[in-house]
Structure 1
Amino acid sequence: MAALAEGIRVVDADTHMTERHDLFTERAPKGYEDRVPHVEKVDGVDMWVIEGNTFGRAGSGGTIDRDGKKHPWRDSQGGSWTIHDGHDAAWDPETRLRFMDEIGVHAQVVFPNSIGLGGQNLVNSVSDPTLLRLCIELYNDAMAEVQAESDNRLLPMPIMPAWDIDGCVREARRCAEMGMRGVNMTAHPQDSGSPDLGDRAWDPFWEVCAGLKLPVHFHIGASQTSLSFFGTTYWPSQDEYVKPAIGGASLFLNNSQVLLNSAYSGMFDRHPELKMVSVESGIGWVPFMLEAMDYELEENAPEWFDKLQKRPSEYFRDHWYATFWFENGRGDLQHLIDQVGEGNVMFETDFPHPTSLHPSPLELVSEKISTLRPETQVKVMGGNAAELYRLW
C-alpha cells in the first residue's frame, strides 16, 4: 500500500446513518406517539408508517452485512434485508465510531436514509404542517445528540422544511444553536410548493446560512424530481442487477442543475460568504460544466452575463465544494483536481451504500491519492472539510 502524506487526518464528507426504529417515537411529545414515523409490519415486512401512510421499507439502509461483507444492492438494501441484517455501524453511533477508528477516519459527515436523502419522503407523506414540522425537529434533535455525543466526530446534516422558507430560516438558526455545522437541503423545493432555489425569495435563508457559517448541502437524489429515473423509469431491457447501476450513475449528474441555478441567479453576489456542497456527485463532470456555464450564458444572455460580478465558473471556485471517492481522473487525478480546484474537493466513502469504498477505504485509494502533491493530499483528504466544518 502506498503511503499517504504525513499529517493527514481523514474527514469522510459523505456517509449515511440508517434511522433507528424508535428514533421518532422515543422523542415524541405526549399525544403524538402514534402519529410520528414508526415501524409496523405490513404484509410481513418492516415499513415506515406515518398517519396511516407507508413511505418505504425500514430496511438495512446499506449493502454491508453484520460480518462486514458487501453484497449487491438487489440482494441487500434493495432486497429483503432488515435493519438487523446490515452492519451495526450503519445505525449505531457507538459502533460507527469504533468502525471509523478501525479504518483510520477521524470524522464523518452524515446524511439520512429512509426519510429521504433530503428529507423528501416525510414531506410527501404528511399533510399536517404541524406534524411535519415536529418530525423534522425530532430528527434534527436526534442528530444533534449524535454529534454532541461523538465529540464532533459524527456530523449529521439537519434537514430543512423546504416547503416553508421562513421555517427553513428558523430551523437553520435552531440547528446552529445546537452546534450543528451545516444544513441538508433538497435540490427541488418546488416539489413541495416552494420557489426554486434561484428565486430571490430564498435570500433570507441564504443570509442566515452564510452568517452562521452553515454550508448548504445538496446530496444526489435529495428530491423526488432527481429520483424520477432511479427506480421508476429503468429501461425494461436491462437485467435486474444492472438497473441499480443505471440509476446510480444517472444520479451523479443531478447536482449540475443546482450549480447552474445558483451561479446564474446572482445569489452569490448578494451573499458572498455562502458555501454549498455537492454531495456524492463526484468531480469529473465539474470542469466541463464550468466551461459550459460560461459559454452558454455569454452566448444566450450576454446582458445577464455582464450583470454578474463574476464569470459563472468563478462562483464554483469561491462558493462550492464537491466530493469524490472512486475517481482517478483517468490516471491523472492531480490534473483533474487542479481543474476543479484543490480547495474545492473533499474525500468521501459513502458508507454503507452500494458505491462505498468498503471494506478498507484508505487502502483502496492510497495508491492514487499518493500520486497527488502532499499539500493536495492534506486538503482533499481532510483539510478542506476541517476548515468548512470548523473541526480544528
Structure 2
Amino acid sequence: MVKLAESLRVIDADAHMTERHDLFTERAPKGYEDRVPHVERIDGVDMWVIEGKTFGKAGSGGTIDHDGKKHPFRDSQGGAWGIGDVHPAAWDPAARLRLMDELGIDTQILYPNAIGLGGQNLRNSVQDTSLLRLCVEMYNDAMQEIQAESGNRLLPMPIMPAWDLQGCVREAERCAALGARGINMTAHPQDSGSPDLGDPAWDALWDLCAGLNLPVHFHIGASQTSLSYFGTTYWPSQDDYVKPAIGGASLFQNNSQLLLNSCYSGMFDRNPNLKLVSVESGIGWVPFMLEAMDYELEENAPMWAKKLQKRPSEYFESNWYATFWFENGRGDLQHLIDQVGENNIMFETDFPHPTSLHPDPLSMVAEKISTLRPETQQKVMGGNAAKLYRV
C-alpha cells in the first residue's frame, strides 16, 4: 500500500452541490413561489423555471449512482438522469459529510450546478434585477446554512450579482458577515452588462475581498462565453461519447484567458493583496503560459510592460492559486509543481462530475502524491487550502 505523508489533512478545493428542487421555493417570500427558480415537469422532463422561462434541466448534476458507480456523462448527467438517480451525496449535505468521512476528506469547497458554475444562468433567464437579487441572496443564504450546519467542513462559494458592481460589494460583505470564506465570480461580467474584470470600476470589490480575506474564485465554464467551449470545440463527426470528452478538455483553456488578462491589466498593482483561484483548470498549462505571457507582452507592448510593477508571470506567485486532480506531470509531478509553485496549488476531486476522482480519490492519487516531498504533499493536499480558507 502506497503511503502518504503522516497526518495529512485533505481539503478538496473543488466539488459541486446539486441544487435541491425546493432550494428557492422554501425561502421565497409569499407570492414569489412561482417567480423564483422552481422545477416544473415539461414534456416529461423536470426543468428549472424562473419567471416562466426554462434555464436548464433539473437533472442529477453528477455521474455517480446510489451504489457509488460512475457512469459516462452521456448516460447520466448529460442523459436522462434526474436528481433521484444520482448519489444522495450530490445534493444532501448530510450524505456528503458521511461520504467525505469514508473517503478521508476533511473539508470541501463547493460550487453550483444548475444555476451556472458562476451563477450566470440566473441573469440569462430574467431581467428583473430585484428578482435576481432576491434569488442570489436566497441561494447564498442556503449555502451559508449548509456551511454552518457542517461545522465549516462544507464551504460553498457565494455567487455574485455580476450585473451590479455595487451590488457585488454589498453581497460579498453580507456573505462575509455570515461566514463565507470567499466569493464565486463569473469570468465575463460583460455578458451581464458590467465592465470586464480589469476595469478599475471593480476595484471596490477587489479592495473589499482583499481586506476581508475573501479569495475570488473563477471556475471553468463560469460564464456563457466560456461555457460555449463545451459545445463548439468538437468536430460534428465525432462519436457522441467523444464529444463531451473534447468539450470537457477544452474547458480547461478558459482560465488561461483570465490569467493573461488579469496579469496584464494592472489590477494587482492596484490591489496587491487580492487572491484569485483558478478552479478545475488543472496546472499543466501554467508553466508554459507564464513564459508566454512575459514573452508576448515584451514583444508586443514593451511600454506597457514597463508600467507594470512586476513581470506578468510574477503575479501568479503573489496573487493566483490553481487546482489539480488527475495530472501526474508526465511522470514527474514534483517537477511540475515546482514550476508552478507549491504554495499556489490545491488538490480537488470534482465530485460528482464526469472527471471526478471516484470512487476512492485518495487511493487513486496515492502513488503519484507519494512521490512528492513530504512538505509539498502537506501543502498541496490541504495546507495551502487551510491557510487560504481559514480552516
Separation (CA, whole Å) in 2 of partners of 1:96 and 1:78:
22
Residue matched to 1:293: 293
After TM superposition, the structure 1 = structure 2 runs for residues 114-129 of structure 1, keeping only pairs within 5 Å, are 114-129=114-129
Separation (CA, whole Å) in 1 of partners of 2:183 and 2:229:
25
Return the offset for 1:233.
5.6
Matched residue type, 2:10:
V
After TM superposition, the structure 1 = structure 2 runs for residues 122-271 of structure 1, keeping only pairs within 5 Å, are 122-232=122-232, 234-271=234-271
Q: Is the partner of 1:67 in helix, strand or coil?
A: coil
Return the offset for 1:253.
1.1
CA contact (8 A) 2:233 2:247 kept: no
Return the offset for 1:60.
0.5
Residue matched to 2:332: 332
Separation (CA, whole Å) in 1 of partners of 2:209 and 2:280:
21
Matched residue type, 1:178:
L
Q: Is the partner of 1:8 in helix, strand or coil?
A: coil
Q: Which runs of 5+ in 2 are unaligned?
A: none
Residue matched to 1:93: 93
Paired positions, count:
391
Separation (CA, whole Å) in 1 of partners of 2:253 and 2:286:
10
Return the offset for 1:231.
2.5
Residue-by-residue CA offset, 1:82-119 (whole Å, 9 max, x unaligned): 10100000000000000000000000000000000000
Return the offset for 1:234.
3.5
Return the offset for 1:252.
0.4
Return the offset for 1:229.
2.5
| Superposed structure 1 runs of 4+ greater than 2 Å apart | 231-234
Deviates more, 1:258-267 or 1:102-111: 258-267
Return the offset for 1:30.
1.4
Q: Which runs of 5+ in 1 are unaligned?
A: none
Return the offset for 1:299.
1.0
Separation (CA, whole Å) in 2 of partners of 1:119 and 1:270:
27
Separation (CA, whole Å) in 2 of partners of 1:265 and 1:208:
19
Q: Is the partner of 2:303 in helix, strand or coil?
A: helix
Return the offset for 1:389.
0.0
Separation (CA, whole Å) in 2 of partners of 1:346 and 1:233:
28
Q: Is the partner of 2:239 in helix, strand or coil?
A: coil
Residue matched to 1:33: 33
Residue-by-residue CA offset, 1:311-334 (whole Å, 9 max, x unaligned): 100000011000000000000000
CA contact (8 A) 2:232 2:247 kept: no
After TM superposition, the structure 1 = structure 2 runs for residues 72-91 of structure 1, keeping only pairs within 5 Å, are 72-91=72-91
Matched residue type, 1:287:
P
Residue matched to 2:347: 347
Separation (CA, whole Å) in 1 of partners of 2:307 and 2:125:
42
> What is the root-mean-square deviation in Å for CA atoms of aligned residues?
0.7
Residue matched to 2:45: 45
Residue-by-residue CA offset, 1:359-388 (whole Å, 9 max, x unaligned): 000000000000000000000000000000
Tell me, yes or no, if structure 1 residue 377 matches structure 2 residue 374: no
Separation (CA, whole Å) in 1 of partners of 2:5 and 2:76:
36
Q: Is the partner of 2:343 in helix, strand or coil?
A: coil
Q: Is the partner of 2:46 in helix, strand or coil?
A: strand
Return the offset for 1:276.
0.4
Separation (CA, whole Å) in 2 of partners of 1:13 and 1:264:
26
Q: Is the partner of 2:22 in helix, strand or coil?
A: coil
Residue matched to 2:108: 108
Matched residue type, 1:3:
K
Matched residue type, 1:227:
L
Separation (CA, whole Å) in 1 of partners of 2:229 and 2:263:
25
Matched residue type, 1:112:
P
The normalised TM-score by structure 1 is 0.99
Matched residue type, 1:362:
L
After TM superposition, the structure 1 = structure 2 runs for residues 280-319 of structure 1, keeping only pairs within 5 Å, are 280-319=280-319
Matched residue type, 1:374:
P
Separation (CA, whole Å) in 2 of partners of 1:308 and 1:233:
34
Residue-by-residue CA offset, 1:347-367 (whole Å, 9 max, x unaligned): 000000000000000000000
